[in-house]
């Protein structure tokens, strides 16, 4: 059964990746680069400080930075434990993919998907009572994760599991954050 799931996962990636075109390649290369998302992070930090002030908002921003570091390290732990080859390194399918970048690390799970989902869901949980449009932040991990399929460097299951890990950890992290936040600031 697991072999069937992996086979379907590979077929779905080949299909999704084949939808790409040279015209859109530069766009997806920009989307997949975290540096270009800096304005979004600055906006989120600004909204956090505006909503909660420097002291409590600064504490929230510090926790956001810690959650990104934790998520990144947790993803690396899973990747190094599972050791699934990236599609661009998989001898069975790499010749069928359009690959624009060639990372050499392992594939499962997607760090882009887990960390961006973790961050976005946590931000929504923090700011949903202050800004009704904050839910639009949830489009970021969807676009960010799709870029990894477009570029042929992650399988769909890497993305799905990464997003599920992100949602789960965001909710757990938020629960504990609220406990600490209430003790410090209430």
pLDDT tens per residue across all 186 residues of the chain:
888 999 999 999 999 999 989 999 999 999 998 888 899 999 999 999 999 999 888 988 998 899 889 888 999 999 999 999 999 999 999 899 988 888 888 889 899 999 999 999 999 999 999 999 999 999 999 999 999 999 999 999 999 999 999 999 999 999 988 888 777 876
Q: N- to C-terminal Cα distance for the chain?
A: 52
CA neighbor of 106 nearest in space, from 166, 46, 68, 162: 162
Tell which residue, 41, 40, 60, has the closest CA to residue 49: 60
- The pLDDT of residue 128 is 94
Tell me which residue range forms the domain holding 83.
55-185
32 within domain boundaries? no
Which tokens belong to 70? 């934790």
Domain total in the chain: 1
- Quick check: is 30 in a domain? no
Q: Domain with 154 in it: what CATH number?
A: 1.20.144.10
The token duo for 59 is 């504490």
50 domain-assigned: no
Closest among 74, 49, 79, 78 to 61, alpha carbons compared: 49
For the chain, what's the residue count? 186
pLDDT at 99: 83
């Amino acid at each position: 059964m697991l072999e069937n799931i992996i086979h379907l996962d590979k077929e779905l990636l080949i299909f999704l990746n084949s939808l790409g075109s040279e015209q859109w390649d530069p766009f997806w290369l920009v989307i997949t680069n975290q540096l270009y998302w800096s304005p979004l992070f600055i906006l989120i930090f600004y909204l956090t400080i505006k909503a909660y002030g420097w002291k409590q908002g600064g504490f929230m921003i510090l926790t956001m930075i810690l959650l990104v570091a934790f998520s990144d390290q947790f993803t690396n732990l899973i990747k190094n434990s599972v050791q699934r080859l990236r599609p661009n390194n998989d001898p069975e399918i790499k010749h069928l993919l359009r690959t624009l970048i060639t990372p050499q690390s392992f594939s499962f799970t997607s760090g882009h998907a887990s960390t961006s989902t973790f961050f976005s869901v946590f931000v929504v949980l923090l700011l949903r009572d202050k800004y009704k449009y904050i839910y639009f932040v949830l489009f970021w991990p969807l676009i960010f994760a799709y870029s990894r399929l477009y570029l042929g460097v992650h399988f769909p299951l890497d993305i799905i599991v990464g997003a599920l890990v992100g949602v789960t950890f965001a909710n757990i992290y938020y629960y504990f954050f609220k406990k600490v936040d209430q003790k410090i600031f209430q």
